Structure 1
C-alpha cells in the first residue's frame, strides 16, 4: 500500500477520523479491511453509499462483491442499479464491463425498474455489441431473461424475432415460439411441447418501484372497502385481495415503515374514532390501540 494510505491508517488509529475523498476511498477501504479497522471500513462504506450515482453504482457493486465487511453497501448498490437501470444504461461505461453472469442476474430480477421491457432487450444488444466476437453466442442465454411476453407485438416482430443474432442462433427458436405463444395466445404446430413455465417467465410483470393505493372511498353511491393498486410500470390497476373490512370513506391515510394507517372515516352509518393499520406484506388489517 502507498505511504499516504498507511499514514491515514495510523492517523485514524490515533484520532478516530481521517479525510475520505473520491481519490483515496477505494485504496483506504482495502487497507482498512486488511487490517480489520472496522470503524474506518464503515466510514468508507458510508462515503461510497452517499456518492452512489448511475455512473459509479456498478463499479461500487463489483468492488464490494468479495468484501464481507461491505455486504450492506454491496446490497444497496445492487438495489440502486435495479431502481435506476434506465439511467445507468445511458451514462455508465461500467455496464459494458459486466460479466455474463452479472448481467443475467440483473435482468432476471423482478425488481428491475423499467417502464417497457423493450429496454431490457436493447440493453442486451448494447452489451453484446461491445464485444460481438465473444458475446454474440450468449444471446440464447440472455434472451430467456427478457420478458418478451410484456413487449408490444409490433416491437417483438420487428425488433426481436427478426434480429440477426436471434435468427442465427438455433437455441433461440424455442424461446421465440414460446414468446409468440405468450403474446398472441394461439396454438402452434410444434415438434415438442410448449413450456408453460417459460411462458409464465416471459410474461410475468416486474415489480414496480412504487405503487399508488386507492383505499376505500365511494362506489355506486355508498362507501366501499375496496383497495386497488396502480402499477405505473405496467399502466394498470390491480385489486388487492384482503380479508373482509368495513367500508370506509372520508378517512385520513399515512404511510410509515411499509404500513398504511387509516384514521377515522365514515361507513354511511357511523363516524369512526379508530385507527387501522394495513400490512402490505401479509395484506391484513390490524386495529391500533390508542
Structure 2
C-alpha cells in the first residue's frame, strides 16, 4: 500500500469570520500607498489548476525523456520547483530552447514522483519506489521531496539494510538518514559480522564502526574477530589500512592469549608493524590512567557495554511522590522509561547487588516512613518486593555497597528522629544485621564507597539545625568509623559519588541556606578536599552518579526551590560541565544508580 506524504508549500491564512470587516484581511502595505488583499484559497486553487493542465497535457511546452518514457510538462512549473531545471531553462544551455530534454541516471518511475510533487505538493511513496523517487528528487534538486523521502525511509531501516541506507544517505546528503543507519549498524554489529554483511563495507565506514564508543558487542574480542574477517576478505586492497584499523580496536582490553593469536594470524604475519602494535599495547597496560588517555584516546575510550545505564528512581515532582523510573544511556544521550516501582518512594536509597537495583526505605505517598525494600531486574524490566525489611524504617538515608553487601546509614525514623545507626543487608542470606553507629546523628547526607570504605558526607543532625561539613569513614573489616577531613563548606542534601579515585560532593544547601552550585573532591591519598569547577545550576536534593567516566547530576531543586528535570554532566577528562538530555519528568529527592547495560 502507498503512503501519501503531503508537502504543504504555504501556510494558509485563517478564513475571515463573518463578523469581521473586509478590511481586517488587508494588512500588508504595498509601495506605501495601499494594502495587499490576499485570497486565502488562491494557492490551493492554483495548484488544482496546474494539475489539471498537466493531466490534460494542455499548454505543455517541454518533453522530458527518462529511460525512453516521455513526460510532457510546463517549463515554468519545473523551473519554479527545481533549481536544476531553472538553470537548464534560463542559462545558456542547449536545453534552454529545446522542445525535448533527456535526463540520465534516474528512473522513469522516480521522475514520475518528482513531477507529481512539483505540480501538487504530494507524492505517493511505497517501499519499492521511495528510493527511486529520492534519487530522482536529489538529481533534480527538489529538496522538499528529498526530505520527505528520507523521512519515509527512516522508519524502514533494519540491520539487514542499514549499510545500504548509510551509503544512500551519503549520496543524497541526508544527515538524519545517515545517522539512523549508522546507529543501527553500531547496535547490530554482531549480526552484521556473523551474516557477512560487513565484508564489502568500505574502509571509511568500517573505521567509523570500529572506532565508535557506541558499537555494541558482547566483548572486544568479537570486535577484533569482525575486523580480522573484514581484512582477510580483501587483504590485498586493505593491507595498507590494516595497522591503523587494528589500533581502533580496544586491544588493551583483550586477553594475552588473544593478542598472541593475533600476532600469529597467517595473513597478517608479513605486516612489519604488527610487532610494534603489540609492544605498544603492552606499554599502554603499564601506564597510569592519565598517561593512557594521553597516549591513546581511542584505547582509553569506553565502549557501550562498558558504560552502564544510569537509573533515576522515585522522588517527587513537586506535587506527588513518584514510583516512576527512567534509564539514561550516556552513549546515546537518551532517557527511556522503565517499569515503575511497586511503591512510590521519596528520599529513598538505592544500591546495586548482583546486577540488581535495590530501592530501600523512603516515604510513600501517604508520607509513611517505610522499612521495606524492592528489587529491579533489568533483564525482565520488573520490580519485585524483597521479603526482608530493614530493622529500622527510615528515609533521608544514605546507602553504599561494600563487597556485595548493602549498608544503610542514618536518616529519619517513624518518630521523625534523626538516626546515627547503620545496618547491613546480605542478599545471599536475606538477613539484615546492625553494624557500628556513626559518631553523630545525621540525615540528608550523601554516601560513596572509595577504596572499599564507606564515606558519609554532610547532612544535618536535626530539622532547622546546623548543616554539617563533617565527613565520616566506615571500615567494614574492623566495623569502625573514623572522622576524615571536613569539607570546605557545610552541605545538606548534597549529591555524592566516586569517580577516578576521588570522592565528589556536589551542590546542596549550606548553613546560611544558600543553594550551592559548588563542587569539591576528596583525595584519599592526600586526605584533603579540593575545589572543582562549579555546576551550571545550583541544586540540592539531586542524584549524583558516575557513568562512562563522567559524573552525572540528575534533577533536584534549584535556587527558587523548583523541582528540576534537567541533567548536567561533568566530563572526567576535560573537567568541564555541560547539559545533557533532560528527564521526561521533574524529579527531586530521588536516587540514582548504575547498572550494566543489557543487549
Return the TM-score normalized by structure 2: 0.37
| Superposed displacement of residue 289, structure 1 | 12
Q: Take 1:226 and 1:17, find their aligned partners in 2: how far apart are those partners? A: 60
Q: Take 2:128 and 2:179, find their aligned partners in 1: how far apart are those partners? A: 23
The structure carrying a bigger helix percent of its residues is: 1
Moved more, 9-18 or 206-215: 206-215
| Superposed displacement of residue 151, structure 1 | 1.6
Gaps (5+ residues) in structure 2?
Answer: 1-105, 314-347, 350-397, 400-407, 412-444, 450-496, 510-539, 544-551, 571-576, 589-599
Q: Take 1:274 and 1:29, find their aligned partners in 2: how far apart are those partners? A: 48
Moved more, 95-104 or 12-21: 12-21
Please state whether the residue corresponding to 1:115 is helix, strand or coil. Answer: coil
Please state whether the residue corresponding to 1:23 is helix, strand or coil. Answer: coil
Please state whether the residue corresponding to 1:145 is helix, strand or coil. Answer: coil
Please state whether the residue corresponding to 2:310 is helix, strand or coil. Answer: strand
Q: How many residues align?
A: 253
Match of 1:141 in 2: 244
| Superposed displacement of residue 41, structure 1 | 1.2
Q: Deviations over 1:109-141 (max 9, x none)?
A: 222223311122111111122223333453222
Q: Deviations over 1:205-247 (max 9, x none)?
A: 224576134777232412553589xxxxxxxxx8355623478
Out of 187, 191, 203, which is 1:87 matched to?
A: 191
Q: Take 2:131 and 2:170, find their aligned partners in 1: how far apart are those partners? A: 13
Q: 1:227 to 1:104 in 2, by over 3 A?
A: farther
Q: Deviations over 1:223-279 (max 9, x none)?
A: 553589xxxxxxxxx8355623478699xxxxxxx994358xxxxxxxxx8624452
Q: Deviations over 1:11-70 (max 9, x none)?
A: 2233433332232222211111222323321221012211111111111111221423x1
Gaps (5+ residues) in structure 1?
Answer: 187-193, 229-237, 251-257, 264-272
Match of 1:211 in 2: 309
Q: Is the 8 A contact 1:278 1:284 kept in 2?
A: no
Whether 1:64 aligns to 2:169 is yes
Q: Take 1:80 and 1:242, find their aligned partners in 2: how far apart are those partners? A: 38
Please state whether the residue corresponding to 1:112 is helix, strand or coil. Answer: coil
Out of 101, 115, 122, which is 1:17 matched to?
A: 122
Whether 1:3 aligns to 2:101 is no
Match of 1:281 in 2: 569
Match of 1:98 in 2: 201
Q: Is the 8 A contact 2:556 2:564 kept in 1?
A: yes
The structure carrying a bigger strand percent of its residues is: 2
Please state whether the residue corresponding to 1:18 is helix, strand or coil. Answer: strand
Out of 77, 89, 103, which is 2:181 matched to?
A: 77
Return the TM-score normalized by structure 1: 0.71
Match of 2:528 in 1: none
Whether 1:174 aligns to 2:362 is no
Structure number with greater CO (CA < 8 Å, separation at least 6) is: 1
Q: Deviations over 1:65-84 (max 9, x none)?
A: 1423x122212222222233
Q: Is the 8 A contact 2:189 2:215 kept in 1?
A: yes
Whether 1:118 aligns to 2:216 is no
